[in-house]
Amino acid sequence: MTYRTSVTGFPRIGRNRELKFASEKFFKGEITEEELKKTAASLRSYGWKKQQEAGITFIPSNDFSFYDNVLDTAFLLNAVPQRYTSLGFSDLETYFAAAHGYQGTAGDVKALPMKKWFNTNYHYIVPELSDDTQIALSKDNKVLCEYNEAKALGIQTVPSVTGPYTFLRLSSFTGTKKAENFAGAAVNAFADLALSLSKAGAQWISFAEPALVLDLSEGEKSLFNSIYTKLLSKIREASKIKTILQTYFGDVRDAYREICSAGFDGIALDFVEGKKSLELIESGFPKDTLLFAGIINGKNIWRADYSKKSALLSKIAESVPEENTVISTSCSLLHVPYTTASEEKLAEGIKKHFAFAEEKLTELHDLSAQDRSAFEKNRKLFETERVFKTAGVQKALSSLSVDDFERKPDFFEREKIQHKAFKLPLFPTTTIGSFPQTQDVRANRASYRKGDLSKEQYVAFNQKKITECIKLQEELGLDVLVHGEFERNDMVEYFGSQLYGYIFTQNAWVQSYGTRCVKPPVIWSDVSRKEPMTVEWSVYAQKQTDKIVKGMLTGPVTILNWSFPREDISLKEQALQIALAIREEVLDLEKNGIKIIQIDEAALREKLPLRRSDWHTEYLDWAIPAFRLVHAKVKPETQIHTHMCYSEFNDIIRDIDAMDADVITFEASRADLKILDALKKADFRTETGPGVYDIHSARVPSVEEISAALEKMLAKIPKEKLWVNPDCGLKTRGNEETRASLKNLVEAAGKLREKFSA
């Protein structure tokens, strides 16, 4: 028996990040829109052909995006706020204005909000629906265009689109109407889409509905039923196209019965993260329906163990006939790099353990064909020990006690001590850490990495940049300064490179959002610190000023979540290993006179289980203690900050307070400061700085705009606890806009101080 195969989605940034560089040239006016589109077409063609060569049966189309697939769907449905369409731009320019804002002669608009895509490091743009929004299929039918594009190459694809239920579930509603009020129009639009694809020759259409793996209320299940009862009926009446319900990132236990009875021709379930997926199909699966079994991990880079996957397929076969089973990736492969073939510097002994996107195509082929030689090679790979435990790390872990996680004295006593020691004004101003990584900064790092610069030259350049950065912050009047992080390429890779247990790739880039790509390091073995990592830079910066300079670190949970983790030990053990290493750095910074230490946990929410019942038992019960382990031994005079961004924190706000930091800064501006209500409701004790402007946009916020945000914050946060800061680090911004934005930030804080001192 040879299984049919399917891929949920393929990477789209290009093996060498071609989409990133072409998009950025387009933003600068260096290439035309047509040239950008030509680059995009070549990337789509590459992915389709690779999948065709691998023998994939069901190849997706419309998985490509210039920025984000959810934003694509908003444009597909004409659900775009008028403030963007009225700019008078081309469709693509309007799309980018919605994605990252615009400030210029045509107007001044903020970007739409951006949030984490379920439990990944990818970000999606939140659609905005007002009472005036008229959902209808756009004349610029991207889904149809890309299907026809693949067809012209001789490749039959399965057009995939964010489904109407997930689209409405993720949207924000600015008026009185809610999801159910838009459901009818959405059904008509998606039915029109299916008909247009059927007329073009498409045999299948796939509706991606990852929101079905969340906890569902009766109302939400009713919405799903209402949408698909009508949609599937309309599709069957008007066309012969077959339908797939695509789910991923978990199991669909709350809606399984409804899904099975809806009448889909194919149902895609995740058997990697879906803990109950096997149990669900054992309870019954609709006859004459294809099961797209997601058994190849689409989110991690380790080779699949063929013996375990075969055993899983045997279990599945007890409930679903093999001829009705299609083996697939658990989710889109956009969460992994393109191919290990690009890793020329990795030893073969290491590389053989990895499967990036193209290698996962091979895994699907091997499992489908039950290739004996491939199975034998795979068996030998998994029979050998990959790594061994490190005695020192294991001893440190086993020696941990309750005292290692408890900071003394308590928060309120520390707050008094720190206020007396620092004498900061009301509404202290600061930034989140990084300053613009300009071309000369990147060139300096690259030259040093290549050996073209001596260490002395490299250090001298960075010290000059630090001095300039400190001087700029003093001129602007910021209260708590940062050194700018000119030595850092990435907030996780930088630390990973100085820890035992990590390995690094050359070209293993994945998309985080838009043009932002990251190269996650790989946790290979037990983790420990080699030597001090940031002390030299922080001490140098502090010597340049009488003001306090924050030490800047990345927290253990974020380092873990933004790495490719091991699969042979638990996430909890990996987090505690990293925490012990970062604790050493924290204590060294304190020992060297650094009075404020920021330990960023930008990704705290990222691995939070999608089901509330699993939050504590599977994550928070070790993630929060891992952070506390890092700072529990510092003196009461040392102030601990942390930062979090681009996630929804409202429902775990009490757990965040339990991190026992002294100050927490949040991304807030793109979410319209909605976190403020949660802070007030939870009686949040930690001093806090909700971001007053969005750093992912090139626009400069006015003093009035920042002042209005601060007034809104003061309605929910006591004035003694409010800090003033941007949303996130300034790494991706330019020097001029950074200076202008921070100048306005300081001026707005000053006006507020005058108001309270009057």
Q: What is the pLDDT of residues 137-148, one digit of tens each?
A: 999 999 999 999
pLDDT of residue 757: 80
Read off the pLDDT band of 65 (50, 70, 90).
very high
For the cut 80, the answer to whether the pLDDT of residue 313 exceeds it is yes
pLDDT of residue 673: 67
pLDDT of residue 682: 81
- How far apart CA 611 and CA 603 sit, in angstroms, is 18
Neighbours of 225 (CB within 10 A): 16
Nearest C-alpha neighbor of 647 from the set 110, 123, 74 = 123
For the cut 80, the answer to whether the pLDDT of residue 670 exceeds it is no
Residues catalogued as catalytic: 696
Span 429-458, mean pLDDT? 93
pLDDT of residue 752: 95
Lowest-pLDDT range, 448-457, 485-494, 675-684?
Answer: 675-684
Lowest-pLDDT range, 34-43, 413-422, 586-595, 637-646?
Answer: 637-646
Q: What is the DSSP letter of 215?
A: -
Q: What Å distances lie between residue 489 and 25, 201, 499, 512, CA to CA?
A: 21, 47, 15, 15
- Amino acid identity, position 640: I
Residue entry with tokens 């290491």:
350
For the cut 70, the answer to whether the pLDDT of residue 672 exceeds it is no
- How far apart CA 485 and CA 469 sit, in angstroms, is 10
Read off the pLDDT band of 699 (50, 70, 90).
confident
pTM greater than the 0.85 cutoff = yes
Neighbours of 288 (CB within 10 A): 7
- How far apart CA 622 and CA 184 sit, in angstroms, is 44
Torsion of CA 327, 329, 330, 336, to 10 degrees: 170
Span 80-86, mean pLDDT? 97
Residues 192-237: pLDDT tens digits?
Answer: 999 999 999 999 999 999 999 999 999 999 999 999 999 999 999 9
Span 472-492, mean pLDDT? 94
- Look at 605 and 326; give whichever has higher pLDDT: 326
Q: With contact defined as beta carbons under 8 Å apart, do 608 and 652 qualify?
A: yes
For the cut 90, the answer to whether the pLDDT of residue 59 exceeds it is yes
For the cut 70, the answer to whether the pLDDT of residue 324 exceeds it is yes
Span 332-361, mean pLDDT? 96
Lowest-pLDDT range, 233-247, 328-342, 518-532, 672-686?
Answer: 672-686
pLDDT of residue 107: 93
- Number of residues written out for the chain: 758
- How far apart CA 301 and CA 321 sit, in angstroms, is 30
pLDDT of residue 437: 92
pLDDT of residue 680: 84
Exposed, middle or buried by CB within 10 Å (0-12, 13-18, 19+), for 194? buried
C-alpha triplet 157, 79, 518: angle, nearest 5°: 60
Nearest C-alpha neighbor of 554 from the set 621, 604, 595 = 604
Residues with Cβ within 8 Å of 106's Cβ and at least 6 positions away in sequence, in order, are 87, 88, 89
pLDDT of residue 491: 85
Read off the pLDDT band of 625 (50, 70, 90).
very high
Q: With contact defined as beta carbons under 8 Å apart, do 243 and 204 qualify?
A: yes
For the cut 80, the answer to whether the pLDDT of residue 648 exceeds it is no
Residue 664: which H helix or E strand, with range? strand 663-666
**Helix, strand, or coil here: 128?**
strand
Residues with Cβ within 8 Å of 375's Cβ and at least 6 positions away in sequence, in order, are 306, 307, 310, 366
